[in-house]
Amino acid sequence: MDLRDLAPPEPMERILDALDALEPGQRLEALTPFRPVSLLPILDEMGHAWRVVMDPAGHARITIWHAQDAMLPE
């Protein structure tokens, strides 16, 4: 999901809404306008693992999965 054109807190809200449908073994990938610092501790509390990769333009690609799952291949 591409959320780069949205103003805060909408990217975080959309990611959290999408996580309601995330099944074990699936992952969610989102592009955000910046590193989603406020979202990361929430994901930890919810039992999700995550990885953030920054691009040269300052956007972030966050991949989220259930912490009990092994990291899914790219």
> How many domains, the chain?
1
Asked whether 19 and 48 are in contact (CB, 8 A), the reply is: yes
The CATH number of whichever domain residue 27 belongs to comes to 3.30.110
Domain interval for residue 57: 10-66
Task: With respect to residue 48, please indicate whether it lies within any of the assigned structural domains.
Answer: yes
Report pLDDT for 25. 92
Residue 26 included in any domain: yes
- Is the pTM higher than 0.75? The answer reads yes
| pLDDT for 43 | 97
Low-confidence ranges of the chain (pLDDT < 50): none
Element (H, E) at 49: strand 48-54
User: Distance between CA 8 and CA 5 in Å, rounded?
Assistant: 10
Is 28 inside a domain boundary?
A: yes
Mean of the per-residue pLDDT values for the chain?
Answer: 93
